[in-house]
Amino acid sequence: MAELKNWYLICYDIRCPKRWRKAYKLLEGYGERLQYSIFRCWLSQRMREKLRWELEKILTTEDDLILIRLSQQCVRDLPKYNRSNTWLLDEKGFRVI
Amino acid sequence: MSTTNLDQRTSINLTEDTIRVSALHAFAYCPRLFYLEEVEELYTQDSAVFAGRRLHEEIDKQEDEEWLDLYLEDEILGLRGRVDALRTREGQTIPYEHKRGRCHRDENKQPQAWDSDKLQILAYCCLLEASLGITVIEGRIRYHADNVLIHVPVDDQGRQWVSDTIKQARELRKSAYRPPVVNNEYLCSRCSLSPVCLPEEARLAHNKEWHPVRLFPQDDEREVIHVLEPGTRIGRTGEQLKISRRNEADEKVSIQQVSQVVLHSFSQISTQALHFLSYKDVGIHFVSGGGRYVGSLDTRNGSIQRRIRQYEALTKSDFCLELARKLVKCRGEGQRKFLMRGKRNIKRKSPDLEKAIAQMKAVLKQVPQVESLESLLGFEGNLAALYFGALPNILGKDVSDSLGFAGRNRRPPKDRFNAMLSFGYSLLIKDVMNAILTVGLEPALGFYHQPRTQAPPLALDLMEIFRVPLVDMIVVTSINRQQWDTETDFDVRGQQVWLSDSGRRKFINLYEQRKAESWKHPVTGYSLTYRRLLELEVRLLEKEWCGEGGLFGQLIVR
């Protein structure tokens, strides 16, 4: 159970502003906002399931949610066909302020 | 009827709490899992746990009006729990249990319930009978992965099984001894608690031929946030930490990406942020502007069983001596190996260095026979004197004199080399404390260092193992690589030397990069980053007094 991690794209469409705000705040705790309603998160399976469970408590059946797991190859190729700065990686493990 | 009921109620010991049905399920799965969760209050949820909860949320939403979910408790039976679903079928009340996984298949490939699941549904049946006063003829389990529904009939044998198990679980809950790991490794690979329980390492401790599978996560990729700039404020906004600096835009960090916040000198943190970080089990540490470790926020609640066992073990002087010998040997070997490694890198011959290495070998040979802590201290002093005496020999010959080393001094450090060592050891003790607090041990009770007011002895003890690989090595290699600027990176005030702001930044970078490097554990044989090794070593130390010892203090650089 070495914790393998992957990048995930998380996109949603939420019909009610109250639920939208809750979900938005929750997702901010897990990853980075790319655009409104699109987040990217670096998650292990354990964290993904935790996030899905927490989202499930907020969303109702009329809302849409999709999680897309990006393989290592997908992420590696991303800079080739995107504007620079679209997907910056910072894997230092620490931050000095 | 009601009076006899009352009599029974008063006759049972009211301090004896009821047991959760899900804990009974854990008990049937593995008694050690039950013990770790119920007595030692260790919970780690894995992906299956959350997926299971989500399944329940989804069922909740799909169900029509016949959905009924009930929280029940019965003191006579000694059980409490929440029934997944209760349905009425042909006039009978039937509890349902939903499972995310697959069912068990017997020899004829026929679907069966897993034993622990069967016990769980029977326990719900008994709980319903006891608290609602009805008779339940069967319980049903739905396995969602292969979509199988299994009927579990309730009979006297089943009821007996439930009450026997409750009795056993209660006995175990009162016991002070952690049960051994189970023989079935398959259970462990599926268990959410394996990174805490370390079953493979326990098996290795009993059987040296065992090839452990790594169940311990390889790395912790969350960030350590060092706040050096005075006047910086840490606050909370939603699920994020907000870092505000003067004349700069606010920075936000998602909470899931933070493992520690280290506040150097006088940066500020709000109470809201403190609450939030403690709730999320993020370490909070304070280091003074001069680079001295000040302390950590200790949010442990519970974990008392682990500490009681620690007190018990570490008040036995023989046991402490044994551990201390291992520790001194580990540190001394590490120092000697580091000198030998240094010898390979320098071209010129150095008779002093050769001599020190040989003398250290002779001293180390005597360590296992040392009879008292006092003489052990003497041996350690000897080793340290030899080591620090020989250390200047492994510095490159073009290193400037101001970065040279002529013996260890501290409080305050008198030269640049010592200033780096002191700051490095502060960062190290901070990380060791973080690991001790994560595992839930008592930092104030150690086995080698004696109680003083200055620093927690257990942290000082554990730190010995990591001094060479995490601090000494980076100081020497960074000096040999000419990475330091003798003017701007240091703050010289008469006799005293500190790292300047830029020097501290540089050092933290070197230190954190080193922690991210991985090292193959010499005994377990799998590689981990130093970030994880710190925690693993504390857990292995805890095993020393739980009958699963023998793996602690084996980390020696090659």
Is the confidence at residue A38, as pLDDT, over 80? yes
Of A25, A57, A96, the CB nearest to B57: A57
Percent of chain B with pLDDT over 70: 88
Question: How much is the ipTM here?
Answer: 0.74
Taking CA atoms, what residue in B is nearest to A47?
Answer: B47
Choose between B422 and B15: higher pLDDT. B422
- A4 at interface of B, judged by CB pairs closer than 8 A: no
B47, B263, B512, best to mutate vs chain A, most A CBs in 10 Å: B47
Confidence label for B10 from pLDDT (cuts 50, 70 and 90): very low
Ligand-binding annotation for A77, yes or no, is no
Short-list B424, B436, B440, B427, CA closest to B461: B436
Question: DSSP letter at B450?
Answer: P
Of A48, A49, A97, the CB nearest to B243: A97
pLDDT of residue B397: 73
Rounded CA separation B49/B60 (Å): 17
How far apart are the CA of A15 and the nearest CA of chain B, in angstroms? 17
- Determine the average pLDDT of the residues in B2-14: 41
pLDDT of residue B131: 77
Which of residues 189 through 208 in chain B touch A, CB cutoff 8 A?
189, 194-195
Confidence label for B46 from pLDDT (cuts 50, 70 and 90): low
Whether residues B512 and A93 touch (CB distance < 8 A) is answered with yes
CATH topology of domain A5-80: Alpha-Beta Plaits (3.30.70)
Which tokens is B376 given? 């052990």
Report for B191-195, B275-279, B389-393, B543-547: range of highest mean pLDDT? B275-279
CATH topology of domain B312-543: Four Helix Bundle (Hemerythrin (Met), subunit A) (1.20.120)
DSSP states along B46-91: -HHHHHHHHHHHHHHHH--TT---EEEEETTTTEEEEESEEEEETT
The position carrying tokens 């010592």 is: B418
- Determine the average pLDDT of the residues in A54-76: 86
Boundaries of every domain in chain B = 3-197, 223-296, 312-543
The per-residue pLDDT for range B479-510, each reduced to its tens digit, is: 888 888 877 888 878 788 888 888 888 888 88
pLDDT of residue B219: 65
**How many Cβ pairs within 8 Å bridge chains A and B?**
107
Of B50, B240, B505, the CB nearest to A29: B240
Q: How far is CA B380 from CA B246, B324, B376, in A?
A: 48, 10, 6
Short-list B240, B235, B225, CA closest to B285: B225
At B47, which amino acid appears? S
pLDDT of residue B6: 39
The per-residue pLDDT for range B234-270, each reduced to its tens digit, is: 999 888 888 888 888 888 888 888 888 989 888 889 9
The per-residue pLDDT for range B81-107, each reduced to its tens digit, is: 777 777 777 777 778 788 887 888 877
Choose between B402 and B331: higher pLDDT. B331
Rounded CA separation B188/B198 (Å): 9
CATH code that applies to domain B3-197: 3.90.320.10
Of B54, B195, B512, the CB nearest to A53: B54
The per-residue pLDDT for range B416-457, each reduced to its tens digit, is: 888 888 889 888 988 898 888 888 888 888 888 776 656 788
Can you state the angle between helices B530-544 and B501-516, rounded to 10 degrees? 70
Question: DSSP letter at B173?
Answer: H
- A82 at interface of B, judged by CB pairs closer than 8 A: no
Enumerate the residues of chain A whose CB falls inside 8 A of the CB of residue B239.
25-26, 28-30
Instruction: Reduce the DSSP state of residue B103 to 3 states and report it.
Output: coil
Note the pTM of the prediction, 2 decimals.
Answer: 0.75
- Determine the average pLDDT of the residues in B295-310: 78
- B61 at interface of A, judged by CB pairs closer than 8 A: yes
Q: Is the dihedral of CA B102, B106, B112, B118 positive or negative?
A: negative
How far apart are the CA of A77 and the nearest CA of chain B, in angstroms? 22
Of B47, B194, B515, the CB nearest to A48: B47
- Determine the average pLDDT of the residues in B344-365: 78
Within 10 A of B217 (CB to CB), how many other CB atoms are there? Answer: 20
- A62 at interface of B, judged by CB pairs closer than 8 A: no
pLDDT of residue B271: 92
Is the confidence at residue B12, as pLDDT, over 60? no
- Return mean pLDDT, chain A: 83
Per-residue H/E/C for B129-164: HHHHCCCCCEEEEEECCCCEEEEEECCHHHHHHHHH
How far apart are the CA of B332 and the nearest CA of chain A, in angstroms? 30
How far apart are the CA of B14 and the nearest CA of chain A, in angstroms? 36
- Return mean pLDDT, chain B: 79
Short-list A19, A14, A21, A9, CA closest to A66: A9
Question: DSSP letter at B552?
Answer: T
Rounded CA separation A26/A58 (Å): 10
Within 10 A of B61 (CB to CB), how many other CB atoms are there? Answer: 12
- B329 at interface of A, judged by CB pairs closer than 8 A: no
The per-residue pLDDT for range B383-404, each reduced to its tens digit, is: 888 888 888 888 777 777 777 7
- B375 at interface of A, judged by CB pairs closer than 8 A: no
Rounded CA separation B15/B116 (Å): 27
B155-158 contacts: CB < 8 A, separation 24 or more? Answer: B158/B122, B158/B125
pLDDT of residue B134: 79
Of B189, B222, B226, the CB nearest to A1: B189
Is the confidence at residue A78, as pLDDT, over 80? yes
Contact B530, B514 (CB under 8 A): yes
Q: CATH 3.30.870.10: does it fit domain B223-296?
A: no
Confidence label for B44 from pLDDT (cuts 50, 70 and 90): low
- Which phi and psi (to 5°) does residue B528 adopt? -140, 160
- B255 at interface of A, judged by CB pairs closer than 8 A: yes
Which of residues 22 through 61 in chain A touch B, CB cutoff 8 A?
25-26, 28-32, 42, 44-50, 52-53, 56-57, 60-61
